[in-house]
Amino acid sequence: MGQITLKQVRKSFGDVQVIPGVDLDINDGEFVVFVGPSGCGKSTLLRLIAGLEDTTSGIIEIDGKDATALPPAKRGLAMVFQSYALYPHMTVRKNIAFPLKMAGMSEADQTVRVERAAKVLNLTNYLDRRPGQLSGGQRQRVAIGRAIVREPAAFLFDEPLSNLDAALRVGMRQEIIELHQSLKTTMIYVTHDQVEAMTMADKIVVLNAGRIEQVGSPLELYNRPKNTFVAAFIGSPKMNLIEGAEAAKHNAHTIGIRPEHIDIGSGGWSGTVILSEHLGSDTFLKVNGGALGTLTVRGGGEIKANPGDTITFGPQLAKLHRFGQDGLAL
C-alpha cells in the first residue's frame, strides 16, 4: 500500500507556473528520489503529493484513489521536514507519540508503537530526553520516528539531511536506506545532492524548471543520460561537454565524457593543468584543453601533475556520449 500516480499535475503561483504538467508513477515499496538544482520544483512537487499545497490542475492518486482534494491528514502519508519540526518542551517519547495522541489512540497502544519505533531507530535510551539534549542526527531520527509510528502508506522526506555535517549525513543516509529495506514502505526523498540520489534511490526523477527530464535507475541515468542536462547533473564530478570540431568528428553537436573515462598519458588530446586536487585514492585535474575548453580529468592517487604542467590524455571511446543540437542523446 503506497502506490502514487501523478496525472498532468500543474502548479502555478499567480501568473508563475512552477510545475507545468507532470506525469509520474511511483510503485509500492519504491525508494524514489526527486533531484535537481535549487528552484527546480522538487520540494513543491513533494508538497503537492503531501497535500500541503493545492494543485492548480491535474490528479494525484494514492493507492488507486483520487486524493487531489483530500487534506494532508487524510492521505495516509508522513512527512519528515528539513528542520525536524520537533516540540522543544516535549520529551522524545511525547514527540514521537504526538500524532498518535492527536488521532485518539489509547496510551497503551501509543507506548507499543513508540517503543517499537525507538528500537528500530536506536532511540530507546533517549526517550526521556528533550530535543535540546540531542545531536542533529538524533533529532532527525526522532522526526523519522514520529513518521514511522503513523504506519503511513508512504514517507516523504524534504531534504532531511541538509542541516547535518558531512560525517553525520553519510551515517544518516545509510540508516534511511536500512530503514527502507526493513519497512519496505514507499519513500519519496527530495535532495539537491546527486550523490545522495545515486546511493539511495531505486528510481531517480531528475527535475529542471518544474519538468521531468528523465526517470530511471541510478545506473540508467549514469550510463544513458537522455540529454545534456541529465548528463551534466548526474555524476560527480560532472561530465565534460565538448562542442565544435571535436564533436563534429563524432557526428554530434556535443560530445560528453566523464572525468573517470579519460585516460591520462595516452590519447590525442593535450592541455595545461590549471588545478590539481589530491584526494588520496584519486587525483582530479582541471585542464585547459584549448579548443576543447576546460576539462576535469580523474586519475589515480599517485599521479603527479602540478599547475602549469602539460599533459596528454584522451577519452575512452566506448564511454563517449553523443548529443544533437537539441541537446538530446543520439
Tell me the three-class secondary structure of 117-158, residue by residue. Answer: HHHHCCCHHHCCCCHHHCCHHHHHHHHHHHHHCCCCCEEEEE
Average pLDDT over every residue of 20-24: 94
pLDDT for 164 beyond 80: no
At residue 130, the pLDDT reads 93
pTM score of the predicted model: 0.89
Report how far residue 306's alpha carbon sits from residue 311's, in angstroms, rounded to the nearest whole number: 10
Q: Are 286 and 269 in contact (CB under 8 A)?
A: no
Provide the pLDDT for residue 29: 94
If you average pLDDT over residues 142-153, what whole number do you get? 88
Nearest to 80 by CA among 174, 181, 189, 183: 189
Flag whether pLDDT at 50 surpasses 80.
yes
Q: 121 pLDDT exceeds 90?
A: no
In this prediction, residue 104 has a pLDDT band, given cuts at 50, 70 and 90, of confident
Q: Does 243 lie in the same domain as 197?
A: no
- What pLDDT is attached to residue 144? 87
Provide the grid cell at 303: 599521479
323 pLDDT above the threshold of 80: yes
Query: Domain boundary residue among 198, 229, 260?
Result: 229
Please state the domain count of the chain: 2
Cis peptide before 88 (omega within 30 of 0): no
Going by their DSSP bridges, the two strands 203-208 and 254-257 should be labelled as: unpaired
Indicate the pairing of strand 240-243 with strand 57-62.
unpaired
269 membership: H or E segment, kind and range = strand 262-278
Q: What is the CATH classification number for the domain harbouring 266?
A: 2.40.50.140
What pLDDT, on the 0 to 100 scale, is given for residue 183?
86
Q: Roughly what angle, to the nearest 10 degrees, separates helices 92-102 and 107-120?
A: 130
Residues 197 and 214: their CA atoms lie apart, in Å, by 13
Which residue from 108, 110, 98 is spatially nearest to 147, judged by alpha carbons? 98
Residue 328 lies in a domain: no
One domain, residues 197 and 249 = no
Residue 163 has pLDDT above 80, yes or no: no
Give the range of the structural domain holding residue 55, as residue numbers without chain letter: 4-229
Residue 115 and residue 178 share a domain: yes
- Same domain, yes or no, for 310 and 271? yes
Q: Which among 196, 229, 262 is the end of a domain?
A: 229
Residues 18 and 158 in one domain: yes
Lowest mean pLDDT among 129-143, 164-178, 242-256, 304-318: 164-178
pLDDT tens by residue, 265-298: 888 899 999 999 988 889 999 999 999 999 999 9
Q: Residue 70's domain is classified under what CATH number?
A: 3.40.50.300
Is residue 26 situated within a structural domain?
A: yes
Cα separations (Å) of 155 from 16, 33, 67, 189? 29, 12, 16, 8
Grid cell, residue 108, equals 497503551
Please, what is the average pLDDT of the chain? Answer: 92
pLDDT band at residue 312 under the 50/70/90 scheme: very high
